[in-house]
Chains A and B, each alone.
Chain A
Amino acid sequence: MSQKNLALFLEKRKSAVVSKWFDEVAASYAPDAGQFLKKQQDPFSNPVGMSFRDGLSGLFDQVVHGIDREGALPFLDPLIRIRAVQAFTPSQAIAFIFSLKTVLRRNFGKEIYAQQLQEALVELESRIDTLGFLAFDLFMECREKIYQLKANTERNTIYRAFARAGLIKEDPEN
């Protein structure tokens, strides 16, 4: 029951939560860049900012109503894919997931406790952890893709050099 009540409570405050969560993301960039991420609303002039606005909104629903891997991926993947090529350590790259806990407690903690919803909050926070684990998987997947792209580049260069030197025998089956 209290789960439902907390969900209702947060649903009403969704735009405030997502906006503050977005501020946390923006704060992980240099101030000039963070300002820009917040300010520019065109999705093609600000791909990172807009990906996060859309992504965090979708992830908020997941956290509030229950995590489902397939449901979370379309929102989480684009965000981790971006963080995986930027100048972050792995922990910095996915830290924004956990900052949702801070956002909730700092801004709505008192009200949540006043309404006796703290147990439901603990449960909700474990869903945030689940999202964190998922983010970790995705981050590794992205990094592995980068290494694979690097390896492919090298492999193709070497293959071409061999081919030019006449060292490649074509398989007649192909």
Chain B
Amino acid sequence: MSDLPKSDEYFSQIDHKPPKLTGWMDTPINIRKGMYCYASNPKSVETLGLPYARPWNPLEDDWQLPENWQQIIHEGLKERLERFRSFKIFMDICVRCGACADKCHFFLGTGDPKNMPVLRAELLRSVYRNDFTAAGKILAKAGFGKQIGARPMTLDVLKEWWYYFFQCTECRRCSVFCPYGIDTAEITIIGRELLNLLGLNIDWIATPVANCYRTGNHLGIQPHAFKDMLEFFVDDIEEITGVRVDPQFNKKGADILFITPSGDVFADPGTYTCMGYMILFHFLKEKYGFDVTWSTYASEGGNFGFFTSHETMKRLNAKMYLEAKRLGVKWILGGECGHMWRVINQYMDTMNGPADFLEEPVSPITGTKFENAKSTKMVHIAEFTADLIKHGKLDLDVRRNDHLKVTFHDSCNPARGMGLLDEPRYVIKNVCNHFYEMPANTIREQTFCCGSGAGLNAGEDMELRMAGGLPRANAVKHVHKKHGVNMLACVCAIDRAVLPALMEYWVPEVDVTGLHELVANALILPGENDRETDLRGEPLPGTEDDTNE
């Protein structure tokens, strides 16, 4: 008994203030559970032929690094400074004005200063200064490195890189506010690329990438199983509409190849969006002879290679184009996906382009030329559908969505990465009667990220996801309270996968939907029955079972 602490001793150790002020370089790294994703499975790293596949655990002191890891990082950094002029400029040009500091959803949600984009970049920039600038080299030798923000690459620095470069969703909101136009996401991309040189990826990225590389989609679904999944939807659609749709698979010589993120095929509520695509394609086929094929090989639009390295991104992107070539289609129609579009819009041409074996995309129904896709030959389905509506090509019963009060979340990559701002809104306003915008500084190019992009949509980092998604949820909560919004629409598969959990925690009254689920609810199919439910099996407004009337 005597060695038990007395209560006053015990409570004297409780401190409710943060630790004494230290400079950021002297603030030690503390890898906290709930804030990181599990280390990559060595098998997946091996599959991709990436170096140093091994089991390792972020919580252990020893990360099982190769003997010469510092040299590998140094040479990797040197090579990238030479290869990417933008990276070199971003390293040199930042004046640390702080314009970006409070624009990051992770900083806003966690309150951790190392999540200020400027400081997150500084984690890497400090090593650049130390190793690659004349002033840095001289002053570091004289022991004044810290004064000019230079520090050598140590194990703690490496761990800090790993922890914080995987607390960035590469959403680029910060870069919108940078007076120099520094793209902090590019710094994260390079940071992660350097970490991959030492085999330090997370499994939520490495395994989907390996699956995609091997079988064409993140979950490693084989072609026959992929087809089976879509066949299930055919049954579901028939049950709801009375119409049996007939998707085409791997059809050589089809006009158009359709590629969507596999999340739409396998995870609610994306599955309803997938049913939406199928319903739309069936309608277009019946009315206009639209000829579109799915592929069971290029069965993934999402490209987690983008979160690994430029080379990995290129490899996965190539698959879609090789399949388009094999099938001999005219152009590619892409589904509701986020980062897939940034890869297509910003990197594709340099990496795999030009796709000169395809035709410049023209809508076979309206004759509209999609000028923006002239080079990549890939059109976003929101744009395609908006064009159909604009030309009056769809038969819509908008009242079927009357039970929904909808707001729209701009997904970072389509919005900031390709400027797709108005098309999805145009579609929603034409298929729904009740639409409300979130506050101006949380949408369009200033949109707040869902907090789970760039491969962070795992289960083990739920605290990070909830904190990172707080600014977005805060804006949703506002329109929920003000207008009774009960549905959050988006055009991204990661959004559809992660926003339901975010809503459940912050605004449980709000559900999540893709754009084409709303379209298909309103679309009147030739020969359909009197629909009583929406695609989710919920009674439609005005039907007998609708208790909300």
Contact = CB atoms under 8 A, between A and B. Distances in A.
Interface of A: 27-33, 36-37, 40, 42-48, 51, 81-82, 85-87, 91-92, 95-96, 99, 142, 145-146, 149-150, 152-154, 156-157, 160, 164
A36 B92 CA distance: 26
B463 interface: yes
Contacts of B501: 149, 152-153
Contacts, number: 103
B467 interface: yes
A96 B18 CA distance: 13
Interface stretch (B104-112, B181-189, B325-333, B384-392): B104-112
Contact of A91 (B14, B101, B107): B14
Contacts of B225: 164
Nearest to B21: A31
Contacts of A156: 267
30 contacts: A27-B17, A28-B16, A28-B17, A28-B18, A29-B111, A30-B113, A31-B21, A32-B113, A33-B107, A33-B112, A36-B102, A37-B111, A40-B102, A43-B478, A44-B474, A45-B108, A48-B108, A86-B109, A86-B467, A87-B111, A92-B16, A95-B16, A142-B505, A146-B34, A146-B462, A146-B466, A150-B462, A153-B462, A157-B459, A164-B221
Given A47-B474, A99-B16, 4 more contacts: A32-B101, A44-B474, A142-B505, A149-B501
Given A87-B32, A146-B466, A47 B108 contact: yes
Contact of B442 (A32, A37, A44): A44
Interface string B262-304: 0000110000000000000000000000000000000000000
B117 interface: no
Given A28-B18, A92-B16, A153 B111 contact: no
A29 B16 CA distance: 10
> Which 5 A-B residue pairings sit nearest by Cβ, starting from the closest?
A153-B459, A47-B474, A95-B16, A33-B111, A32-B113
Given A81-B506, A153-B458, A86 B441 contact: no
Interface in B110-143: 110-113, 116
Interface in B453-502: 458-460, 462-463, 466-467, 470-471, 474-475, 478, 501
B102 A45 contact: yes
Nearest to A36: B102
A36 B110 CA distance: 13
Given A40-B102, A44-B478, A145-B504, A85 B266 contact: no
A48 B266 CA distance: 35
Contacts of A85: 109, 463, 466-467, 470
Nearest to A99: B16
Contacts of B219: 160, 164
Nearest to A89: B14
B439 interface: yes
Contact of A32 (B116, B441, B466, B506): B116
Interface string B47-68: 0000000000000000000000
A58 to B, nearest CB: 14
Contacts of B35: 87
Interface in B353-367: none
Most buried by B among A30, A146, A152: A30
Contacts of B107: 33
A81 B466 CA distance: 10
Interface of B: 14, 16-18, 21, 32, 34-35, 101-102, 107-113, 116, 219, 221, 225, 266-267, 439, 441-442, 458-460, 462-463, 466-467, 470-471, 474-475, 478, 501, 504-506
A108 B257 CA distance: 73
Contacts of A91: 14, 16
A30 B114 CA distance: 10
Given A44-B442, A46-B102, A146-B505, A87 B110 contact: yes
Contacts of B505: 81, 142, 145-146, 149
Contact of B109 (A30, A36, A45, A48): A48
B226 to A, nearest CB: 10
A48 B112 CA distance: 13
A29 B112 CA distance: 8
A118 B33 CA distance: 45
B501 to A, nearest CB: 5
Contacts of B475: 44
B108 A160 contact: no
Query: By CB atoms of chain B within 10 A, which of A42, A44, A48 has the most?
Result: A44
Nearest to A165: B225
A76 to B, nearest CB: 15
Nearest to B32: A87
B466 A29 contact: no
A48 B111 contact: yes
Contacts of A152: 501
A46 B18 contact: no
Contacts of A99: 16
A160 B266 contact: yes
B470 A48 contact: yes
Nearest to B34: A146
Given A91-B16, A92-B16, A47 B111 contact: no
Nearest to B505: A145
Nearest to B116: A32
Contacts of A45: 102, 108, 441
A64 B13 CA distance: 31
A152 B465 CA distance: 15
Among A87, A92, A96, A152, find the residue whose CB has the most chain B CB atoms closer than 10 A: A87
Nearest to B18: A30
